[in-house]
Structure 1
Amino acid sequence: MKILDSFDRKILKIVQSNNRVTSEKLAKDVGLSSSACQRRLNSMRKDGVIKKDVSVLDRNKLNRKITIVVQILSDFESTEHDNKFKKAMQKAPEVMQCYYVTGDYDYVLTATFEEMGDYEEFTKKYFLEDPNIKRFNSMVVMNQVKENSTIPIN
């Protein structure tokens, strides 16, 4: 992978907030030709600097009004149990983020649901029926203060 220069950084700042920006607008804002910007974007995608291009959806407009942050404590840690749980969370469509963390809990995840009954079923399936889950702590999001997936680029 090549070292990112100031043009790459400018491109990344722009496409993080709007990945549908036109090549012409990107070129004007960055100070390169549109073809040079496209080459750089393609190179950063190929190198994995840009993992994917997505659309950010409004959960409320899709009837996903409940967001819950969950802390999960495993009974005992092992590669087999960790891999099993990680795979389950990767496949669970309700889970938006899942992190293996340090501290008092082993995992922290964020998930979204249409109603509380859906979360109850989720907990039964993934936590209560898993003998390795010792405890979980649920925090219902009352108000979204900030939600952002952009990474600061210096």
Structure 2
Amino acid sequence: MPKKTAPLDAFDREILRILQRDNKTPQRAIGEAVNLSAAAVQRRIAAMEQSGTIAANVALVDPAALSLTVTAIVEVFLRDERTASIDRAKALFRETPEVQQCYYTTGGTSFVLVVVTTDMSAYEVLTRRLFSDHEWVASFRTLVALDRVKSGAEVVVP
């Protein structure tokens, strides 16, 4: 269950914009940019982490640097939309490291995944593990990315 987030003011929103560009920006520098003390920035960041507004502090890694040369967008179609099938799929996709992103969707497709693997052979092994070995998966469709034009986790801060 998501935590209840407190309303964000203009300072919080500007702090979020800065942190999304570079979460290693020193709090002193953030404070100078938003006209707050470093201590006030630290308290605001801690409050946003506590509330779940800031969900994680992570490093974005270039998959090519790890020889992950195949990026696939996969549409998954379940046999039915029963809670048990959906919950099984969510659990499986969450625990699979090759699945970078997973969305439960409407419009005929049950899930959309973004997957990275070293090569097509590894992708085939993954598809067997994720789809072929589970009776609740009706089918899947793969779109292989030719180029990673934009990738990130930045959210528009209104």
Residue 122 (str. 1) matches residue 126 (str. 2)? yes
Deviations 1:110-141 (A, max 9, x none): 01000111110111111011111111000100
Q: Give the TM-score taking structure 1 as reference length.
A: 0.97
Instruction: State the TM-score, normalizing by the size of structure 2.
Output: 0.95
1:94 is matched with 98
Q: Percent identity?
A: 31
Q: For 1:40-98, what per-residue CA distance to the aligned partner results, in whole angstroms no more than 9, with x for missing partners?
A: 00000001100010011111011111100000111111111111111010000100001
Distance 1:148 1:113 in 2: 18
Structure 2 partner of 1:31 = 35
Runs of 4+ in 1 over 6 A off after TM superposition: none
State which of 16, 26, 42 in structure 1 corresponds to 2:46.
42
Checking the alignment, whether the CA contact within 8 Å between 2:72 and 2:145 is kept in structure 1 is yes
CA RMSD between the two structures? 0.8
DSSP-derived class of the 2:140 partner = strand
Aligned to 1:56: 60
* Structure 2 unaligned regions, length at least 5: none
Number of corresponding residues: 154
Shift of 1:2: 2.6
Residue 83 of structure 1, aligned match among 81, 87, 97? 87
2:152 and 2:23 map into 1 onto residues whose CA distance is 15
State the distance in 1 between where 2:140 and 2:111 align: 9
